[in-house]
């Protein structure tokens, strides 16, 4: 048996999420039958994160076991020929037999995009939350996000109905920054560029605690220059942790927006954490601004086994400069 790792990107707008559901169009519901058609055997996928309806992914990871000897690149081409254009498998790799997309993950990164200009942009409405009630204070949001970093009980940031009883998670990085963007002048590609740049570049330096110390607010905008009060712009929230509860990132974003609109002080987020009560936190942000951008695994699990199709080459699965380390 071989262990195969898939790296997947998709536009989640027209899907009812990742997981198979009777009578509904889902990512898994299209991917598994495509694999079975190509490999001519039963396939059961494990996935890094079961994204909800409307949520997008650039760095989703799935894995499965197979008897097939089909080369990874041949499988990648065949899959993309069988899948709709909203789903692209951008890498297929044979990995160590112990690799499991769900259980082996050590870090995940999500990014959320908010457009807070007064007039919505028809080219990015599928990928950003249009907050039309005024300009958000991104610096206060960044100050509030600092309270999330570290190991905490995130019970206040979990939607009802989750089966998980352990609500302790570790957040390694929590960033908020503002990116300038011109109205109606290709903002859709700008949104894609922001997400891809975050995915393909290494993360900021870390301090001696192992947590992030560089604020993205201090970095020059690589796309449009500094965002000023007159710019139409995006507020980007990025959260990186060892795991997430149900709707945790969207509740974090909704809570940060409460701070950004100056309804709450940055210190309020500390009180929400300590209260361990969902009713204390802000609303759940809409799904369509959320992207799963990265999933990290131990490097030794990404190495292809001896004798595989990829054993003579560099291990596949991540572009140069990614955060696997």
Active site amino acids: 52
Q: How far apart are CA 301 and CA 233, in angstroms?
A: 40
Structure tokens at 257: 């927006």
Segments in 115-236 forming alpha helices (H): 138-145, 187-200
**Residue that the structure tokens 């990614």 belong to:** 322
Backbone angles phi, psi at 309, to 5 degrees: -65, -25
Whether the CB-CB separation of 144 and 206 falls below 8 Å is answered with no
Whether the CB-CB separation of 200 and 321 falls below 8 Å is answered with yes
Q: How far apart are CA 148 and CA 134, in angstroms?
A: 25
Structure tokens at 138: 């991104």
Backbone angles phi, psi at 323, to 5 degrees: -90, 5
């Amino acid at each position: 048996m071989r262990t195969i790792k898939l790296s997947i990107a998709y536009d989640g707008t027209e899907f009812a999420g990742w997981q198979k559901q009777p009578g509904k169009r889902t990512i898994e519901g299209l991917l598994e039958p495509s694999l079975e058609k190509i490999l001519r055997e039963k396939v059961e996928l494990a996935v890094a994160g079961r994204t909800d309806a409307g949520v997008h992914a650039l760095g989703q990871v799935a894995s499965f076991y197979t008897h097939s000897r089909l080369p990874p690149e041949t499988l990648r081409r065949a899959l993309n020929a069988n899948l709709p254009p909203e789903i692209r498998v951008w890498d297929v790799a044979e990995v160590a037999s112990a690799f499991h997309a769900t259980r082996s993950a050590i870090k995940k990164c999500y990014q959320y995009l908010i457009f807070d200009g007064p007039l919505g942009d028809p080219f990015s409405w599928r990928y950003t939350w249009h907050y039309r009630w005024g300009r958000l204070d991104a610096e206060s949001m960044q100050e509030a996000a600092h309270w999330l970093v570290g190991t905490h009980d995130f019970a206040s940031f979990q939607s009802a109905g989750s089966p998980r009883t352990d609500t302790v998670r570790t957040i390694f990085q929590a960033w908020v920054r503002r990116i300038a963007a011109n109205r109606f002048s290709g903002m859709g590609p700008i949104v894609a560029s922001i997400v891809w740049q975050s995915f393909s570049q290494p993360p900021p330096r870390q301090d001696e605690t192992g947590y992030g110390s560089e604020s993205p607010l201090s970095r020059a905008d690589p796309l449009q220059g500094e965002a000023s009060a007159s710019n139409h712009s995006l507020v980007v929230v990025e959260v990186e942790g060892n795991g997430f509860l149900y709707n945790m990132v969207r509740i974090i974003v909704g809570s940060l927006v409460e701070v950004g609109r100056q309804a709450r002080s940055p210190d309020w987020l500390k009180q929400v954490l300590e209260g361990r009560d969902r009713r204390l936190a802000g609303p759940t942000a809409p799904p369509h601004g959320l992207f799963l951008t990265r999933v990290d695994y131990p490097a030794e699990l990404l190495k292809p086994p001896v004798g595989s199709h990829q054993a003579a080459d560099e291990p596949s699965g991540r572009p140069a400069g990614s955060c696997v380390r």
